[in-house]
Amino acid sequence: QKEVEQNSGPLSVPEGAIASLNCTYSDRVSQSFFWYRQYSGKSPELIMSIYSNGDKEDGRFTAQLNKASQYVSLLIRDSQPSDSATYLCAVRENYGQNFVFGPGTRLSVLP
């Protein structure tokens, strides 16, 4: 059974610090990886997608992928209280259509 694991948190960081969110996945052939942010009571919104090993930067967000270690992470620089949310890691099956979501990590940025 394909699994995506995340530390449920809460992860607390002070405002202005770097928040590091981690995700591991079990299906070695997975090719597509996504980070979603979900505020309480709202639906998820896509932050970043990453497909190749290495880093991908978008503003304050950097996604890192290591397929050999089956590990994907999200770094949030200069964390703001508005970044406080649950972050969901999603992995797409190589030959199918479905996303497999992790349980999410709750991030709390303290002012």
Partner 1 sequence: GAVVSQHPSWVICKSGTSVKIECRSLDFQATTMFWYRQFPKQSLMLMATSNEGSKATYEQGVEKDKFLINHASLTLSTLTVTSAHPEDSSFYICSAQPGTGRVDEQYFGPGTRLTVT
Judged by CB under 8 A, the residue of 45, 57, 58, 78 near partner 1 is 45
Does 43 bind partner 1 (CB under 8 A)? Our answer is yes
Does 101 bind partner 1 (CB under 8 A)? Our answer is yes
> Total residues at the site for partner 1 (CB under 8 A)?
20
**CA-wise closest residue to 94 among 7, 25, 22, 36:** 25
Does 9 bind partner 1 (CB under 8 A)? Our answer is no
Given a contact cutoff of 8 angstroms between Cβ atoms, the answer to whether 56 and 62 are in contact is yes
**CA-wise closest residue to 19 among 89, 91, 90, 73:** 73
What's the rounded Cα separation, in Å, for the pair 76 and 38? 15
Does 61 bind partner 1 (CB under 8 A)? Our answer is no
3-state secondary structure of 38: strand
Judged by CB under 8 A, the residue of 23, 44, 47, 107 near partner 1 is 44
Please provide the size of the chain in residues.
Answer: 111
Does 3 bind partner 1 (CB under 8 A)? Our answer is no
Contacts with partner 1 by CB under 8 A lie at 32, 34, 36, 42-46, 49, 51, 88, 90, 92, 97-99, 101-104
